[in-house]
Structure 1
């Protein structure tokens, strides 16, 4: 890669890493995994930087890479076998992304991964249906249905504690 391209990539990665990390956290709910996903996505972007740099939509391309990295991570066999119900000896660092409540993060964590990806990209990253479809490698109709189902599930998740409180 030419020195100018390398410098431009470094500047882009520096300026977008916080936003990408926030999106990754909203997808996976784990800051450490979010950092790994961003790193993997930036490595993949670096490989094709000279080709995609001139594109006016390379921000969408970067988010597409990030979402695909997360979906690939969810498919890994060792991830499915991992049990996360043990007690952690120390208190983990927990910092919600700016403007995102802990209740929303907890509700997002209960969604299936494709619904979660669709909701996060549509409403947290403000992406169009077309861009989300490209990122998820599916049709626009699938994005609409996954988003609709995800929003319905979020409404049910949020409404459950309120209804339990009223019956007492």
Structure 2
């Protein structure tokens, strides 16, 4: 049992880590989130190993992230502007990445989960609803609200020379 789980972890950790980072926006929190999900997966490995264990881990990550958010939402507030530290990379790519991450942090955990599931994981609305344990309508509503919020907060990222009809 341990050998097959170890193989799964070795082969799937890079992809699962990327998803965890997209959900949390922080490398350390992403590592914690993935480790927590893998610990849950290990407890049920005999039951899920012949099915789709990666889907189980991803579902565990989504649910754990929402759970963590609920616990800390009353005490933590993200900064409006990231503090600048000496030695940071000031290239355009870094500015764009930071701006996008800041915009993603402005989403609720459910909205962020829907965006990750729909556009990063490329799941259908029905598949995303199944992972999140909600209705397709709820996924559509969260997706719509998230995209509207992202558009409103990322206007400065849009090339002003592009005409509105081309967007």
Counting matched residue pairs gives 153
1:84 and 1:129, CA in 2 relative to 1: closer, same or farther beyond 3 A?
A: closer
Paired position in structure 2 for 1:31: 27
Tell me how far apart the structure 1 counterparts of residues 17 and 136 of structure 2 sit (CA, whole Å). 25
- Alignment correspondent of 2:116: 120
The gaps in structure 1 that reach 5 residues or longer are: 95-100
Structure 1 position 63 matched with structure 2 position 69: no
Structure 2: runs of 5+ lacking an equivalent: 90-95, 161-167
CA contact (8 A) 2:78 2:105 kept: no
Per the TM alignment, residue 132 of structure 1 is displaced from its structure 2 partner at its CA by: 1.5
TM superposition score normalised by structure 1: 0.78
1:93-138 C-alpha deviation (Å, 9 max, x unpaired):
99xxxxxx51322211111111111001110111222221122111
Partner of 1:42: 38
- Residue number in structure 1 paired with 2:75: 81
- CA spacing shift, 1:152–1:42, aligned 2, 3 Å: same
Q: Answer yes or no: is the 8 Å Cα contact 1:37–1:70 preserved in 2.
A: yes
Q: Which has the higher contact order (CA 8 A, sep 6+)?
A: 1
In 2, distance between residues paired with 1:11 and 1:156? 43
**Cα deviations across residues 11-66 of structure 1 (Å, max 9, x unaligned)?**
111111111111111111111000000000000000111101111x3322221011
Q: TM-score, normalised by structure 2?
A: 0.78
Change (3 A) 1:76 1:48: same
Inter-partner Cα distance in structure 2 for 1:145 and 1:130: 13
